[in-house]
Amino acid sequence: MNRPFNMPDEFVDGLMKAGGSLWRSLGGAANGERDGAVLGSPLDSSARIAQLQADYLKGLYQLSEHIIKSSAGGQGEAAVETSRGDRRFNATEWRDNSLCSTLKQYYLLNSRYCIEFVEALDLDEKEKHRLRFFTRQFVEAMSPTNFVATNPDVIKLATDTEGQSLKAGLDNLMTDLSKGNLTITDEAAFEVGKDVATSKGAVVFENELFQLIQYEPATEQVAARPLLIVPPCINKFYILDLQPANSFVRFAVEHGLTVFVVSWRNPDASCGHFGWDDYVEHGAMRAIEIVRSISGADKINVVGWCVGGTILSSALAILRTRGDQSVASVTLLTTMLDFREPGDLGVFVDEESVRQREQTIGNGGIYRGAELGFVFQTLRSKELIWPNVINHYLKGKPPERFDLLFWNADVTNLPGPMYCWYIRNMYLENNLRHPGRLTMCGTPVDLGQVDVPAYVLATVEDHIVPWRSAYRTTSLFRGDTRFVLGASGHIAGVINPASKNKRSYWVSDERCEDPAAWLADAEEKPGSWWNDWIAWLKPQAEEHRPARAQLGSNLYPPGEPAPGRYVKAKAN
């Protein structure tokens, strides 16, 4: 079923289920009835709702009193203030214009009531999380800043341009409706291989699933053990090589590492049969084998990010079980291996939704990247959706030029069998954390077999991999593990160039079962975690030797120049 802006079935189904939870809760609370799995204590819920309504009426009275005083020339603070960091109401009109100020405060009061109302309900935690998520979507969509008639900036611009801004915005809207995507950046501003993904190198291997890129050395001496990076197959690898100033690849190369990166193929209909085992065996494990062959090293160091880290960890567990000692250390960047608390993505996953996907694409087919992209945008709708709606449709402005958003909009498909297996066994059933429960590539998987040194990075504001979930990796691996918590979110927290020395990170040598206890003991350090990581990695990289003049080897000669053609393929 085609919907505007590639709204996936999971989003619509989740919205309907959230509404159902709300309806049952209100009915149970009103009747004083208990509905085992849904309601906990309806009488307590009724009391909380009654108190909440009383507080709401009090807030309305205080706001009305404030409006009356203001209209009479009185002074004083607003009755309802915006929360810290909320930039939607920064325009002076929202403060100085009485009508705009009143509208803003009524919206904030009602928004607070909606959010607190959900918290007052007696619901199963999974249902409450779903209702909380979709309530937030509704609250953010209803902001007066999102409508022409109630946004003073939009009205002023329309007046100044004699309506041309509104006409341009309507043209932008019609263009986006015709292509089915919300434009979040200038998609013509960058060219892969020219403006982004510009580090010098060559493709030294490819199969149906990925191309392996080796990068040219930047130092006369390089570490004996090379570095292999396995990025997420849900996105393209060049987030790690955007531009020279914020390229993780360039940083690693400049610190004397021989760097290889897996560039996953953007699947089309011909790839609809690939499963999870293919990504583990013919992806990560094959790349490890080839990197070791080309380098001639005794062992290699590996990095995995997000689902790339999940694939890589599965591969390592299999290799260690088989007695393979070819990996010296592993670094996991915002990766989840224990899915008991999957964050907001969990609102889209239940038995019914997974079974529906299995019936449609589980045995063959493609999960479209545009649908997945819409889901990720809703996780940060206040930053990724509504500002673009305002600027692009209401103000008629062209989209901004931003390399990270360009990458974000460059979506990738996923093979249906791989996606369905991943969602069921990770998000729905959380099987990976249980030793031997899953068999991959003919081998029972036990993450406890991973006994190499591990560097585990999480980020405090991560909306995709909650940092507390990433922390649980420390109890799954058996080797010495260093856990680091970076500032910011899933992307900006990882791409935090050492040269800019921004943000901060937390470290502690203590190991606790409770993530909160770890954080309470952790020390905050200024700057980028990149510097901490490279210092940790150096002992695992062994001694240095002269850098090779040629990439690849006789068995795996260099082919097309980096970044290769796989990364340039667009999702259909």
Residues 6+ apart with CB under 8 A from 15: 134, 137
Active site residues: 306
Exposure of 15 in the CB half-sphere (CA atoms within 13 A): 10
- Distance CA(467)–CA(461), nearest Å, equals 8
Nearest alpha-carbon partner for 229 in 330, 319, 322: 330
Q: Where are the beta strands (DSSP E) in 430-490?
A: 439-440, 443-444, 454-459, 481-486
Nearest alpha-carbon partner for 228 in 163, 161, 284: 284
In DSSP terms, 304 is beta-bridged to 230, 332
Amino acid letter for position 541: A
Instruction: Please provide the DSSP assignment of 359-394 as one string.
Output: HHHTTS-EE-HHHHHHHHHHHTHHHHTHHHIIIIII
- Distance CA(193)–CA(393), nearest Å, equals 31
Q: Which 3 state secondary structure label does DSSP give 266?
A: coil
Q: Which 3 state secondary structure label does DSSP give 136?
A: helix
- HEC secondary structure over 19-85: HHHHHHHHHHHHHCCCCCCCCCCHHHHHHHHHHHHHHHHHHHHHHHHHHHHHHCCCCCCCCCCCCCC
Amino acid letter for position 265: R
Nearest alpha-carbon partner for 103 in 72, 138, 69, 149: 149
Q: Which 3 state secondary structure label does DSSP give 213?
A: strand
**If you ran DSSP here, which 8-state letter would residue 263 be given?**
E
- Distance CA(494)–CA(274), nearest Å, equals 29
Question: Long-range CB contacts (< 8 A, 24+ apart) of 563-566?
Answer: 563/192, 563/193, 563/197, 563/201, 563/213, 563/237, 563/238, 563/241, 563/263, 564/203, 564/206, 564/211, 564/213, 564/263, 565/211, 566/206, 566/210, 566/211, 566/263, 566/264, 566/265, 566/266
Nearest alpha-carbon partner for 457 in 447, 467, 449, 448: 467
Amino acid letter for position 207: N
Starting at the edge strand found earlier in the chain, the sheet holding 523-526 runs 201-206, 210-215, 259-264, 227-230, 300-305, 327-333, 454-459, 481-486, 504-507, 523-526
Cis, peptide link before residue 563, omega less than 30° from 0: yes
How many C-beta neighbours within 10 Å does residue 549 have? 7
Tracing tokens 């992209």 back to the chain, one arrives at: 373
